[in-house]
Amino acid sequence: MERGQVIIIRKKSSGHSAHHGGAWKVAYADFVTAMMAFFLVMWLVNQSPSVKSAVAGYFRDPGVFDNEHSTSMMPSAGTPGADANGTATNLAAEQRALGEAAAHIKSELLKSSTVAGLRDQIEFKLTAEGLRIELIDRAGSSFFDSGSTVLRGESVSVLRVIAEEIGQLENDVLIEGHTDSVKYAPGAAYGNWELSADRANAARRVMESAGVRPGQVRAVRGFADTQLHVDTDPMDPRNRRVSIVVRSHASTTLDQAVRSGPDTAAAAPNATAKKHN
């Protein structure tokens, strides 16, 4: 070997094979999705028949949960859902009844000259939750005194007409208050949260004195400016409103089932059947 010659020794590495990439992530995601579907099916199996029918109706017509639609959550007429007493749960018929109630309220409001200035500020909408009646402020015309929970005289008349009609229904009622994003003075002890809740409560008092049955109002909620009517303009006066929600029986049943858990939901129809026997 000549002096200064460089000797290069090559050694074969016995390390790990090449990286597998992200394929395992896809497999893991599929596994998690399958487990989630499994637990959802297990939950659904333990629900009452009426809840199963409502869920089945959603998959047949998902558009029913769009606020702009008023179609039924129920399956087609050939496959009605039934509770433990064998009573068919016909949501389409219930929505027709709520639609008729809305039409009757509109008719009564048209007859009253007292509320003529507010008629264009009342909106009716049928949704999967039930009938939503919105009393919406606009520039220069409000249902309440400015920044106050005191209802104007014509506003009381509007609420009385609504109360007389929905008091004849068996449906539960929710009352919601909403504000725009105009803030009170910094450091004020009273703000939009308090105002929205107090306005909803003021509406409740009038309605309960005018025909809404005791216990029919199930909740009074204040949302401040968290659910705007005009998303593009938080300061728009139309964001100030009181919403009266006449809940469908299916919406109430589904809500109770989810809150109570599968065991209570499955036992509910049997308890109702024993009560009627």
Q: How many helices (H) and strands (E) does the chain have?
A: 7, 7
Q: Which residues, listed in sequence order, are joined to residue 178 by a DSSP beta bridge?
A: 241
CATH number for the domain that contains residue 219:
3.30.1330.60
Q: What percent of the chain has pLDDT over 70?
A: 70
In a domain, 276, yes or no: no
Q: What's the total number of domains in the chain?
A: 1
Q: What is the mean pLDDT of the chain?
A: 79
**Does any domain span residue 75?**
no
On whether residue 61 sits in a domain, the answer given is: no
Cα separation, 214 vs 4, in Å, equals: 106
Say what the pLDDT of residue 147 is. 86
Q: Residue 117: which domain range?
A: 92-185+192-252
Report yes or no on 44 lying in a domain. no
What six digits make up the tokens of 86? 């064998």
Q: Does the residue 159 lie in any domain?
A: yes
Across 217-243, average pLDDT: 96
CA distance 229 to 126: 16
Q: pLDDT digit string (tens) for 13-70? A: 555 555 556 677 777 777 878 887 877 777 777 766 656 666 666 565 555 445 444 4
The kind and range of the H/E element at 123 are strand 122-127
Q: Does residue 226 fall inside a structural domain?
A: yes
Condensed to tens digits (0 to 9), the pLDDT of residues 238-251 reads 999 999 999 998 88
67-91 residue pLDDT tens: 444 433 333 334 444 443 433 456 7
Q: Is 4 within a domain?
A: no
Q: Please give the single-letter amino acid code of residue 1.
A: M
In a domain, 155, yes or no: yes
